[in-house]
Amino acid sequence: MKINNRLLCAFVSMSAVFLTGCSEDGFEAVTDPTQINVTTNPGVISQKHFSVKASDLFPTVVDTSNNTYTETEVTITARIGDRNNLSITNPQTVQFRTEYGLINPGSCETDENGTCSVTWIADASPFDAGLGPGYLVTITAYAVGEEAFTDTNGNAVFDDGDAGFEDLEEPYIDANESDVFDAGDFIIDVASTNDPTGVNGAHDIGDGFFNGGGCTHSSLCGARASIAVWDDVTLKIDGPPTTP
Ligand SMILES: [Ca+2]
Ligand SMILES: [Ca+2]
Ligand SMILES: [Ca+2]
Ligand SMILES: [Ca+2]
């Protein structure tokens, strides 16, 4: 609840609307516009600003012209920001998983720029890894955050005046690159409404409610204010596409 009030007060301050009553959680009531202390970074990762990118989408791990394998490294970078479209500067832990290769280290702490990187290494020959056609490797990154919402009325909280939100399912490794969780994919168990302990060994879909701080919607506020935010990137590991 403390975070909720902070969010609301932060936005009130940003809007240059001066109200009393925001000092309860450490935000002093503002009476002088020159004294405005803009505090709009609650440090909670929004799904709308959680992204993962690769330094090379087409590493040549496999040369299919002669069936050779080369141990190859790709830098994987996560970037985080909050619901107010601001980068998050306090450290957050980002976890990584993949279907093939090695990720070193398996997690990273974001820096003052809201980014952190790990290295993906094709540490063994993929010929025996069962990757399937196309030599496609998916890497999934995830962290604790909140769902994204369309803040139609611009008050920085999810409420009845907003168009909607993105109801997140549990992260997973989309090993068959189908863009949905189905047979052949790998579960990543995290805590959620349908899996409170995060160890049920099943893929859990969204709960139908907004999971995030400060929610004042009349019917769509979830009991859990946090959820795993996530993104993935797919490498094609047989080198750059050939142009006709
Ligand atoms: Ca709103
Ligand atoms: Ca939800
Ligand atoms: Ca899939
Ligand atoms: Ca689960």
Ligand 4 centroid to 200 CA: how many Å? 5
In this prediction, residue 128 carries a pLDDT of: 74
**How far away, in angstroms, is 221 Cα from ligand 1 center?**
12
pTM over cut 0.85: no
Ligand sitting nearest the alpha carbon of 178:
3
C-beta separation of 125 from 72 below 8 A: no
Average of pLDDT values for 162-188?
96
- What residues have their beta carbon closer than 5 A to ion ligand 3? 174, 176, 178, 182, 185
Q: Report the distance separating Cα 85 and Cα 166, nearest Å.
A: 16
Burial 18-47 (b: 16+ CB within 10 A, else e): eeeebeeeebeebeeeeeeeeeebbebbbb
Question: Looking at the CA of 204, which ligand is closest?
Answer: 4
The CA 156 to ligand 1 mean position distance, Å, reads: 5
* Pick from 70, 68, 89: nearest CA to 79: 89
Nearest to 203 by CA among 175, 223, 226: 175
The alpha-carbon radius of gyration of the chain (Å, integer) is 21
The residues that bridge with 135 in the sheet, in sequence order, are: none
Q: How far is CA 71 from CA 4, 59, 61, 241, in A?
A: 48, 10, 6, 19
Average pLDDT, the chain: 85
CA distance 231 to 79: 10
Each residue's pLDDT tens digit, 188-237: 999 999 999 999 999 999 999 999 999 999 999 999 999 999 999 999 99
Nearest ligand for residue 182 CA: 3
Domains within the chain, CATH numbers bracketed: 1-40 (no CATH), 41-236 (2.60.40.10)
pLDDT mean over 138-142 = 98
- β-pairing, 68-69 vs 45-46, is unpaired
Ligand closest to 210 (CA) is 2
Ligand 3 centre to CA of 11 (Å) is: 39
| Spatial distance between the Cα atoms of 146 and 183, rounded to a whole number of angstroms | 27
- Of the chain, the percentage scoring pLDDT greater than 90 comes to 74
Task: Tell me which ligand sits closest to the C-alpha of residue 167.
Answer: 2
Structure tokens at 3: 């975070």
> Using CA atoms, how far apart are residues 213 and 4, in angstroms rounded to an integer?
5
Gap between the Cα atoms of 137 and 236, Å rounded? 6
